[in-house]
């Protein structure tokens, strides 16, 4: 039943997200002993214009 949420900069493609979901799910099951079937992973893409670090937008701090 665990729920894992990932917030990261937008731009990863579907294949990377599939790998991430697979890998985080496997680790959750391995470390906590839950079943893989019970794990939910929800990914949120965040624009660099919506993420501030140290008071500055990531869009400014880490331009693409």
Site residues (CB under 8 A) for a copy of itself? Answer: 1-9, 12, 14, 16-28, 30-32, 34, 36-46, 49-60
Residue whose CB is less far from a copy of itself, 31 or 64: 31
To the query of whether residue 63 is one of the catalytic residues in this protein, the response is: no
Q: Own/partner pairs for 14-22, CB < 8 Å, 24+ apart?
A: 17/43
CA 52 to chain centre: 17
Compute how many other C-beta atoms are within 10 angstroms of the C-beta atom of residue 30.
10
According to DSSP, residue 62 is labeled S
Would you say 55 or 64 has its CB closer to a copy of itself? 55
Minimum distance of a copy of itself from residue 31's CB (angstroms): 5
The residues assigned a catalytic role are 2
């Amino acid at each position: 039943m665990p729920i894992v949420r990932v917030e990261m900069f937008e731009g990863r493609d579907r294949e990377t997200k599939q790998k991430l979901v697979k890998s985080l799910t496997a680790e959750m099951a391995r470390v906590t002993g839950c079943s893989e079937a019970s794990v939910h992973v929800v990914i949120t893409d965040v624009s660099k214009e919506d993420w501030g670090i140290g008071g500055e937008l990531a869009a400014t701090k880490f331009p693409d």
